[in-house]
Structure 1
Amino acid sequence: MFRPVQQEKPPTQAKPAALAKPAIRPAQPSPRIGDGFAPIAFALVKGPADACGPGCDSWIAAEGKIDGSAAARFRKFMKQIGDRKLPIYFNSPGGNLEQALAIGTMLRERKAAVRVGRTTLRECGFEPQEGDVCTRLKLSARELHGEVWTRGAMCNSACPYIILGGTTREVGPDATLAVHSPRVILNFTGGVPTREMRAQALQQAMARSDRMVLDHLIKLGADPALLTAARSVPFESMRVLTREEIVRFAIDRRDRVESPWMFEAANRGIAYKTILARKDGETSFGTTRFQLVCFDQNRFELDVERNAPSGSGRASLAIVGGDLRLNFLSPPRRSGGRETWGVFLDGGQVRALASTRTAELTDGPSNLARPDGAPFPVASEGLQSALKMLTDTCPPAKAATQPVIAPVPWQQVPWPQASAR
């Protein structure tokens, strides 16, 4: 597409020499993805202890569309915070490619730790987090307070090129990265261009865009195949990167990615976590999801959803931590290559699980007294605070009654779908 310069007299056919240098504005978010996002704002946020990882309670929130002055604002913001080494969480639908590359370069110069996450500010109260009130708060340069989440966070379009600037790059197991081809807006002067002029200018602009991205990828040590993946998708669409692609393109090379336990109030309170992992020699990642719900303050259910192991004979699953051992109900519920196990806990058992630094999932044949499967570690980071918030939403404990036998429906809170729209 092109945007003609307004003329005071009837236009004449443009001469080739009159073609201005096309302005590249790739990766502007499509309406379905970008609606509701203000220009990207940077804010210093303080949260509870360990809110952004062990020993980390402060971070930089980068939220919104990457507009034409984003790099200048980011440079000014980083000058204001000085030499503080804080992780930066991006939540962006994308935007201006040249600005994204500039921000990525600045991050590399600062040897920054970059992650994908969405920040909710307490100061916003009941105002929308992407609304004008919150945006003004983020632009105020004052320290704010809030929480950071990976579930539902996005880094789309031009945003992944920013993430590559970090010397430490972390993409949570429940965050979304998506790419597509750039959009180029051509500005012509001197008259109305012919169809051939438009095609030639567009080709030149796209080639320049590709060179910029390729140089950026090579400079930051990323796989140029990321550009190939992006160019395979038209601007109007999005390609959500799989975890295998995120590793292969060197955006986040970890073979195991584990979210902390988080609390979320949906139809009912729920504590949840997600683990993506692959074993040595394997190419594909397996997804293991946990959810903890309560019936009252002394009765809980822990569900584990995972890929069903290949082969037959494994018919037991247990979670072990310290002196605690819990055997899941057998057989599990199975659907579409996935299986879900459940176990009931009382208040003492769930508190014991939360106090254990790392528990382990173990499985094995039903005819063995001890499991023979390789232990699958499960960190309890965040579980104590999530459990407190979950318990606060539960009704008081009741007198002893018959055990609850109906499993709690899975996915009280929707999981991210394989689409950026």
Structure 2
Amino acid sequence: MLVRVLLLLASLTIPTALCAEQTAAEKAGFASNLTIYLAKGAPGACGPGCDRWIAIEGEIDANAASRVRRFLAGVKDTQRPIYLHSPGGNVEQSYVIGRLLRSRKAVARVGQTIATACAAGTQVDAACLKAKNAGGEIEAELTTYHAMCNSACGYVFLGATSREVAPDAALGVHNSRLVFAIHGHPPEALLAEFRQRRTASADHERAAYIVAMGISRELDDLIHSVKFENLHMLTRTELDRFNIDKRPLAETMWRLVKGARPYISKFATLRSDNGPSFRTMEWRLYCDSKTRVPLMFAAEIDETASGQRTIMMTADAAPTEEAGGRPLRSGKYEVWSGSLDFGRFRAVMASRALHVRETTQKPDETADTAKFDIDTTGLPSAWTQLEETCPPATTSQKPPWPAIPPPKTTATPSAAPSP
């Protein structure tokens, strides 16, 4: 019996297939082995005062942890943020990598690194991977838009001491699948017994790891409930409740959105003052005027708040000049539209933050005021990109709200992985 048991080799794996709505080209955007390298971008590329980071991307293979250990041993700057972009892979390796991140008190974020020297549209061809694995620092850009850290990648992410998921990035979870390599012809009863024992052991190991990383046991319960064939994208409320990303305000980078009428956009999610829920907000800047810069703002309506809301915005470099007013309701959003003269707009670009003040006038004539700051890092470079693509002022209407729909709570892989 013991000999037969020893002939059964089991390892935890997760699917390399992505969500059903993703194309084959998008699934092919990941290398089959985990790649880790140093990246350098423009000033503020990874946040205020940050232009260098560590990129970890691709599928987590069976030898990934040893390579990550060797790489991190040579990086003395433990505060250099780590950006993860991966569909998952080997779960056992992900636990080891996660513990490595915890040992160096790492800062981890979900984001995709775009090496500027690589061919347009791909980051995983042979030449690009050779450059990334050469050991030097790669010139790159960074984006959180549609970046993902799914399945086993999530366990790597949990290992970091500081964790950030931008509103336009995704952290996906689901239950794992056991894959067996069987030699000989053991009885079915023996296989069933071994499978049951190994599954219980894997469940225990996962639960212990999650708790050791300071994450709520609710996450383990959720993972256990999501079938291997499905994928659950954690909502902002779940990220907060599970102690994964506790920030009351999470922001995206300023991003150029191309199209018939291009614009630059920034999203943020803000925790409601009246409960644990979050509201999504977006800022848009257009360039269809030679004297003024159109500015639009939209926010999900807080159903728990009553009364008329007013939004006002100021910048560090022009604290007495305000833009804003009363937004109009458009479906589930409140939308305000206005414009800034170029003097005021230049003051915004020269500022550290855009200061936002929301005032809600209640029916009993009292008022509630919420204040928060929106980071302007990266806005000047995004504006430069926008100016280069500006169409004539007579171009078509503004795109509808919102530009990025809220992430779906569940998704289904397009295909099961091969054993």
Q: TM-score surpassing 0.5?
A: yes
2:336 corresponds to 1:344: no
Distance in 2, Cα, partners of 1:366 & 1:226 = 38
User: Offset of 1:84 from its aligned partner?
Assistant: 5.2
Partner residue in 2 for 1:357? 352
Of residues 408-417 and 382-391 in structure 1, the stretch that sits farther from structure 2 once superposed is 408-417
Whether the 8 Å CA contact 1:292–1:301 is kept in 2: the answer is: yes
Residue equivalent to 1:4: none
Which residue number in structure 2 is paired with residue 390 of structure 1?
386
Residue 399 of structure 2 aligns with which residue? 409
Match of 1:35 among 17, 27, 49: 27
Match of 1:18 in 2: 4
Q: Residue 179 of structure 1 is aligned with which of 150, 153, 173?
A: 173
**2:322 corresponds to:** 325
Check conservation: 2:108, 2:164, Cα contact below 8 A. yes
Give the CA deviation at 1:237. 0.5
| TM-score, normalised with respect to structure 1 | 0.85
For 1:77-226, what aligned pairs fall within 5 Å after superposition? 77-83=71-77, 85-194=79-188, 196-226=189-219
Q: Pairwise mapping of residues 169-318 of structure 1 onto structure 2 (< 5 A)?
A: 169-194=163-188, 196-280=189-273, 282-310=275-303, 313-314=307-308, 316-318=310-312
Note closer, same or farther for the CA distance 1:83–1:357 as it changes in structure 2 (3 Å cut).
closer
Equivalent pair of 2:106/2:161 in contact (CA under 8 Å): yes
Partners of 2:4 and 2:362 lie apart in 1 by 79
- State the match for 1:3 in structure 2: none
Q: Distance in 2 between matches of 1:271 and 1:48?
A: 18
* Contact 1:300 1:344 survives alignment (8 Å): yes
What amino acid maps onto 2:248 in structure 1? D
Secondary structure of the 2:370 match is coil
CA distance 1:155–1:297, change in 2 (3 Å): farther
Q: Which runs of 5+ in 2 are unaligned?
A: 413-419
Q: For structure 1, which segment, 310-319 or 159-168, has the greater mean C-alpha deviation from structure 2 after superposition?
A: 310-319
Q: How far apart in 2 are the matches of 1:420 and 1:120?
A: 26
Q: Given residue 289 of structure 1, which amino acid in structure 2 is its aligned partner? A: E
Larger Rg: 1
Corresponding residue number in structure 1 for 2:417: none
Distance 1:183 1:242 in 2: 24
Give, in angstroms, the shift of residue 241 of structure 1. Answer: 0.8
How far apart are residue 46 of structure 1 and its match? 0.5
**CA shift for structure 1 position 324:** 2.1
- Please give the alpha-carbon distance, in whole angstroms, between the structure 2 residues aligned to 1:360 and 1:81: 38
Aligned amino acid, residue 214 of structure 2: G
Quickly say closer, same or farther: Cα 1:92–1:208, change in 2 above 3 A: same
Summarize deviations over 1:331-363 as a string: whole Å, max 9, x none.
62411x222221123333322222233322434
**Equivalent AA in structure 1 for residue 241 of structure 2:** R
Root-mean-square deviation (CA, aligned residues, Å) is 2.9
The aligned amino acid for 1:203 is: Q
Q: What TM-score does the superposition give when structure 2 sets the normalisation length? A: 0.85
Aligned residues: 396
Q: Give % identity.
A: 34
Instruction: Check the 8 A contact 1:298/1:347 in 2, yes or no.
Output: yes
Q: Distance in 1 between matches of 2:411 and 2:321?
A: 41
**Aligned partners of 2:95 and 2:155 also within 8 Å:** yes
Alpha-carbon distance, 1:260 to partner: 3.4
The alpha-carbon distance between structure 1 residues 320 and 157, as it changes in their structure 2 partners (threshold 3 A), is: same
- Between the aligned partners of 2:402 and 2:278, the Cα distance in structure 1 is 24
1:11 corresponds in structure 2 to: none
Deviations 1:339-395 (A, max 9, x none): 22211233333222222333224345599xxx9643343332222222222223225
